[in-house]
């Protein structure tokens, strides 16, 4: 469960247009729920929520609760909270916090962008490095990709704030497939990692949802997310 920080795919696209220019083109609020499976077996449930916050920012949360197996026995849960501003069609990072709770070892990580600098606190370790324009972080990356796909992108590259640096990560549309999840059956586009990192696939219906209907990743375990319900504006 320590790796089920869900939907953390690494993506990117930096546009220099003002956020107001695309106010009608980017999502303002929604709630999406998913079933989480490991090796095809139920593991937990995840809820993603986007809502407006103060000072023109948005809050994006991702909460996962273990409901089966060892994850349930340990009371394992993961919470990720991001604050960002829409910089054109990019959810540009302002801050991020990760918290993993369980009966074993809890874990926290925070990231704050201040004055062109990224400050990271990973449990007891601290890191500082320069920020990049149009920079996103792992929690909002799938959202950034969904917005890019809706705009017609076939391949995207984002500067991503990770633990010790800004990392450029690339994704591409690899094909179209019919996908069945609890929310229904969809004609989706499959997106895969396009750089040296492998083990990630996501299926989007960009004309309908800004987040994947299905996501599968092997990094940290054979994890799959399947959309159950989406409510949004």
pLDDT category at 5 given cuts 50, 70, 90 is very low
The stretch 13-26 carries a mean pLDDT of: 44
Domains of the chain: 19-232 (2.50.20)
Q: How high is the mean pLDDT of the chain?
A: 85
Residues 6 or more apart from 125 whose CB is under 8 A from it? Answer: none
Three-state SS string across 167-226, please?
Answer: EEEEEEEEEEEEEEECCEEEEEEEEEECCCCCCEEEEECCCCCCCCCEEEECCCCCEEEE
- Count other C-beta atoms under 10 Å from residue 124's C-beta: 6
pLDDT at 143 over 90: yes
pLDDT category at 131 given cuts 50, 70, 90 is very high
pLDDT at position 220, please? 58
CA 183 vs. chain centroid, Å, equals: 19
* Measured distance between the N- and C-terminal CA atoms of the chain, rounded to whole angstroms: 31
Mind listing the pLDDT tens digit for each residue in 30-85?
999 999 998 888 888 999 999 999 999 999 999 988 765 555 444 478 899 999 99
pLDDT at position 9, please? 32
Among residues 22, 226, 13, the alpha carbon closest in space to that of 133 is found at 13
Mind listing the pLDDT tens digit for each residue in 209-230?
999 999 998 765 678 999 999 9
Mind listing the pLDDT tens digit for each residue in 146-174?
999 999 999 999 999 999 999 999 999 99
pLDDT at 104 over 70: no
Compute the distance between CA of residue 53 and CA of residue 37 in angstroms, rounded to an integer.
32
The stretch 116-140 carries a mean pLDDT of: 95
Residues 6 or more apart from 105 whose CB is under 8 A from it? Answer: none
Q: Are 199 and 219 in contact (CB under 8 A)?
A: yes
The stretch 176-189 carries a mean pLDDT of: 97
Q: Which residue has the tokens 């929310």?
A: 183
3-state secondary structure at position 152: coil
Compute the distance between CA of residue 218 and CA of residue 170 in angstroms, rounded to an integer.
17
The percent of residues above 70 in pLDDT, for the chain, comes to: 82
């Amino acid at each position: 469960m320590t790796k089920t920080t869900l939907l953390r795919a690494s993506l990117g696209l930096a546009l220099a247009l003002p956020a107001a220019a695309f106010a009608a083109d980017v999502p303002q609020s929604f709630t999406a729920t998913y079933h989480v499976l490991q090796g095809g077996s139920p593991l937990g449930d995840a809820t993603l929520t986007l809502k407006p916050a103060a000072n023109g920012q948005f809050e994006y949360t991702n909460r996962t609760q273990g409901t089966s197996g060892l994850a349930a026995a340990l009371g394992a849960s993961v919470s990720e909270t991001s604050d960002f501003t829409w910089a054109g069609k990019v959810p540009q990072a302002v801050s991020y916090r990760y918290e993993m709770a369980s009966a074993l070892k809890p874990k926290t990580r925070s990231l704050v962008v201040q004055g062109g600098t990224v400050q990271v606190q990973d449990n007891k370790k601290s890191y500082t490095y320069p920020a990049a324009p149009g920079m996103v972080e792992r929690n909002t990356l799938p959202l950034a990709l969904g917005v890019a796909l809706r705009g017609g992108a076939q391949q995207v590259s984002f500067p991503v704030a990770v633990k010790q640096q800004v990392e450029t990560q690339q994704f591409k549309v690899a094909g179209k497939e019919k996908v069945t999840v609890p929310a229904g059956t969809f004609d989706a586009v499959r997106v895969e990692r396009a750089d040296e990192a492998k083990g990630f696939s996501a299926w989007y219906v960009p004309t309908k949802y800004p987040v994947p209907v299905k996501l599968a990743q092997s990094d940290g375990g054979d994890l799959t997310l399947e959309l159950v319900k989406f409510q949004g504006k």
